[in-house]
Structure 1
Amino acid sequence: MFHEAAAGGERQAWLLENCMGADYEMGAIFVEEYQRQGLIRQGSPQHLLHLISGALTYNLLVAPMTLRATGLDLASAEAIDEQVSLLQDLLRP
């Protein structure tokens, strides 16, 4: 997914049309609703959506290497709970 999103071309166009296109709109609506309720800080809904998505996926992508390098298992339930809690604190108004 990350490769195709960065590469452009026909496969990217297909993914947007058939799988991911609506996610951008729905994600922005999700962020806007949380902003309206005062649950997360104000800012560009698309920027916040991408920051949230990145924060929640990057750690899982690098979890095996982080475990090997540091002994910290970013994919464990405890680590995920802590990461989500930290992200929530960062996003609060």
Structure 2
Amino acid sequence: MKPEYKLLITYDILPGKQDSYYRYVLGEFVPTLRNMGVHMTSAWHTAYGKYPARLLEFTIESHDVWRRARASSHWRRLEDRLQTYTTAYQRKLVLYRDTFQF
């Protein structure tokens, strides 16, 4: 089934937090979101320019899946903890296109 939405999360990793950040994102953040129906499809690193260092892309099957994920007690906890490792955090939900989106 083709996803209906794409969740885009951008941020910079705080200096000195890289190891903790990677352990959290790979060990808890991404797996928990996957269990909620929010599937990571790509992670981008910005090597040059004044853009956030990271862009994570997640696909979501429907608005109902997104609404349930956002309403869960897990979402706020996951997002709050991710922000302890990052700065310039932003997220947006966009209609899915099978191409790079920013």
Give the TM-score normalised by structure 1: 0.28
Q: Whose strand proportion is higher, 1 or 2?
A: 2
Give the TM-score normalised by structure 2: 0.26
Larger RCO (CA within 8 A; separation ≥ 6): 2
